[in-house]
Amino acid sequence: MLRLALVIYILAGATLAGIFMIAALTAGYDTLNPILVAVAAGAIVAIPISWIVARRLNSDS
C-alpha cells in the first residue's frame, strides 16, 4: 500500500501545491515567501489525502 500511496502523492502533491500557489497569487501575495508557504502547505496537505485514497483503493481490490 505504501507504493500506491507514493504514486498517488506524486500526483496529488503537485496538483495541490499548484492549486495552493494559484490561490496565493489570486489573493494578491506576489512575494516569494507567501508563495513558498502556500506550496509547502499544499504538499503537506497531500500526504494524508494520498494515504486515505490509497487505503480506499486497496480495500476495494
1-51: pLDDT as tens digits? 999 999 999 999 999 999 999 999 999 999 999 999 999 999 999 999 999
pTM here? 0.88
pLDDT score at 60: 73
Q: Residue 61 — very low, low, confident or very high, per pLDDT cuts 50/70/90?
A: low
Cβ pair 12, 53 in contact under 8 A: yes
pLDDT score at 53: 96
40 half-sphere exposure, CB direction, 13 A CA radius: 6
